[in-house]
Amino acid sequence: MAIRFQYNKTSRQQLEKQLAVRERALPTLQNKESALRMEVKKTKAEIEELDKELEAKIKSYDKMVSMWTEFDPTLLRVKDVHLSKRKIAGVLLPMLDKVDFEIRPFSLFNRPKWFLDGVKTLEGLAEIGIRRDFQEIRLSRLEYARKKTTQKVNLFEKVQIPGYQEAILKIKRYLEDEENLSKSSQKIMRAHQEQRREQEGSVW
């Protein structure tokens, strides 16, 4: 990124302000990136845990496969999903609080005894599945925020801060050179004036 500047004190002051803003913001961004990285790791672990839980529950019902063919899955449906919001490392994320299910009325007399247990089992499996999908949504948002924060950290750390420092140094050197030249030319002028005065004095 090319930083535009002019070789004068005003431009140098503006660059110094811009540099100070970035140097102050960098530690905050680095902390945010670190917090988001940890949250991404934690969410991935939670997804893995839910996957294992779902797999274990499904395996435990393997013996009942023949019974499930009699079961009517339309008896259960998701009625409502309760959400809240929470800020994590400056990112507003949705939180899943509770899942409400609706059970379609059915006659216990016309159904096998285990039907009610079957409904509860399906409810448990559905809730784990919903929680897992919800964690995937959170993970996607966290990863996007972390990626953006990492890009900004790299921009400040590797491009803008060194760029502003280099530009300030160039202006500083230029102004110093200009000052030295000015002093040298003044010395030369004074020397010429003194020489002229001496010559004029010697003529008289």
Which domains are present in the chain?
9-184 (1.10.287.3240)
* Run of H or E including 149: helix 115-154
80 in the Ramachandran plot: left (φ > 0), alpha (ψ -120 to 50) or beta?
Answer: beta
- 77-116 burial: b if 16+ Cβ within 10 Å, else e: eeeeeeeeeeebbebebeebeebeeeeeeeeeeebeeebe
**Residue 204 predicted with pLDDT over 60:** no
Read off the pLDDT of residues 65-124 as tens digits, 9 standing for 90 and up: 666 667 777 778 889 999 899 888 888 888 889 999 888 887 767 776 777 777 888 888
Q: Tell me how far apart the alpha carbons of residues 63 and 86 are, in angstroms, rounded to a whole number.
A: 41
Q: Is 194 exposed, middle or buried (0-12, 13-18, 19+ CB in 10 A)?
A: exposed
* Run of H or E including 93: strand 91-103
Average confidence (pLDDT) over 51-67: 79
